[in-house]
Structure 1
Amino acid sequence: MRELRSSNNIGDVRRFFRAWLSAPLRVAAIMPSGSALAGLITSEISAATGPVIELGAGTGVFTRALIARGVPEDKLVLVEYGADFVQLLEQRFPRARILSADAARLGEVELFDDSDAGAVISGLPLLSMPPRKVMAILDAAFSHLRSDGAFYQFTYGPRCPVPRVLLDRLALKAIRIGGALANVPPAAVYRIRRRPPRSVISMRKTQSRGSTGKRLLDLSEA
């Protein structure tokens, strides 16, 4: 069994290397992500998350991790642009919905009948894309996410791969959830969510000030 698993890994590395040679800006990695990164980027996912969309599914490293977290295969939508990877995903995950598509145009596709996705897992090389493309991808992804849904993105860079100006324009907030130093190369993962409406923020501040005043009043009466 170990030999078979090792053989599959070698084959996946070769596929990635060939894909990188033919389109280095689109693939942006010479080998698949490792298990440490797959574990980190799926660490907040469970069966309760609901449907999950994976962008740039590649050879299915993150897909396997999602299934191991309890997400049913038939609740996965795998989006992949490379034809060779699409074929491989169809063989490995026959019950998942696999789309051969540009992630930036995902908003034009109906994905779910009964509910929106709870999470998007992205393996796309956002750092190598122009800002307009990144904005289109995020806009399309969030059109399929529930209001409390999250977009998870990894990066090899030192900071969030989505510039602050784009986050502000789309009313999104990014938080670094951890790093995978064992990955080759080392990577970090960010969770991106919608910002709460300003009215909600104002209400929270008012409630916070009110509770502080009440505590002071209670102390003075003691």
Structure 2
Amino acid sequence: MVPFLREWIRNPRSVASVAPSGRALASLITQEISSATGPVIELGPGTGVITHALIERGVPEQDLTLVEYGSDFARLLQMRFPQARVLWMDAAALNRHVLFQEASIGAVVCGLGILNMEQRKVAEILRGAFRFLRPDGAFFLYTYGGRCSVPDTLLEELDLEAILIGRTVRNIPPASVFRLSRRRTMDA
């Protein structure tokens, strides 16, 4: 809790919440992910609550890439998950680097404060993530509101759809989880 509060005081827009995600939210956001999913990118893992849930779902630690902007969190993640790939960088830079073979990632789990970001930055994050996601891959995110935090206009522009997969009141604050995926065409 202290690292979150310290980072929030330092830069309120850099963290999604003043408290780490709870176990109920971690379980909900990872419920569709398993060892069969393949490599997973986690954006904004913070202290690693959701990372632990991914490992519990069967994702091998070495198949995790943790993208963290906060230096204190990045160091903590390197200690807690020594087999994972920890990248200390802004998630909006994903599209500017060759980090993976294109279309090789099974899922992206996002713990970033999308609601606090400019739409341009959210678009960059999504473009980068979907560049590396397999055609059947999914981008999971949570929000503290009832609606998806990615605006409908941006979803349409990027040819994505958002589906609510669940809500939990057993988190501070209560949260909703959405799955973003590429829109399916009628002939697909």
Query: Are the structure 2 counterparts of residues 163 and 72 from structure 1 closer, same or farther at C-alpha, using a change threshold of 3 Å?
Result: same
User: In the alignment, which of 13, 17, 29 is matched to residue 5 of structure 2?
Assistant: 17
* Alignment root-mean-square deviation, CA: 1.3
**Is 1:82 equivalent to 2:70 in the alignment?**
yes
Name whichever of 105-114 and 39-48 sits farther off.
105-114
**Is 1:179 equivalent to 2:167 in the alignment?**
yes
Q: Residue 158 of structure 1: CA displacement? A: 1.9
SS at match of 1:143: helix
Q: Which has the larger radius of gyration?
A: 1
Task: Report the Cα distance in structure 2 between the residues aligned to 1:147 and 1:77, rounded to whole angstroms.
Answer: 19
Q: Aligned residues, how many?
A: 188
Aligned to 2:129: 141
- Contact persistence 2:63–2:84 (CA under 8 A): yes
Task: Report the Cα distance in structure 2 between the residues aligned to 1:49 and 1:14, rounded to whole angstroms.
Answer: 33
Q: Residue 113 of structure 1: CA displacement? A: 5.0
Structure with more of its chain in helix, by fraction: 1
Task: Report the Cα distance in structure 1 between the residues aligned to 2:18 and 2:50, rounded to whole angstroms.
Answer: 16
Aligned to 1:128: 116
Q: Residue 110 of structure 1: CA displacement? A: 2.5
Structure 1, unmatched stretches of 5+, are 1-12, 205-222
Q: Residue 25 of structure 1: CA displacement? A: 1.2
SS at match of 1:147: strand
Aligned to 1:160: 148
Query: Which of 1 and 2 has higher RCO (CA within 8 Å, sep 6+)?
Result: 2
Aligned to 1:109: 97
SS at match of 1:58: coil
Shift >6 Å, 4+ stretches: none
**Is 1:30 equivalent to 2:30 in the alignment?**
no
User: In the alignment, which of 30, 41, 49 is matched to residue 61 of structure 1?
Assistant: 49
SS at match of 1:104: helix
Task: Report the Cα distance in structure 2 between the residues aligned to 1:115 and 1:97, rounded to whole angstroms.
Answer: 18
Q: Residue 114 of structure 1: CA displacement? A: 9.0
Task: Report the Cα distance in structure 2 between the residues aligned to 1:137 and 1:115, rounded to whole angstroms.
Answer: 15
**Is 1:41 equivalent to 2:34 in the alignment?**
no
SS at match of 2:136: strand
TM-score by length of 1: 0.82
Q: Residue 180 of structure 1: CA displacement? A: 1.2
Task: List per-residue Cα deviations over 1:89-110 (Å, max 9, x = no partner).
Answer: 0000000000001101112222
Report 1:178-217 matches (<5 A): 178-197=166-185, 201=186, 203=187
Structure 2, unmatched stretches of 5+, are none
Task: List per-residue Cα deviations over 1:22-74 (Å, max 9, x = no partner).
Answer: 11111131110000000000000000000000000100001000000000000
Task: List per-residue Cα deviations over 1:84-132 (Å, max 9, x = no partner).
Answer: 0000000000000000011011122223359611000000000000111
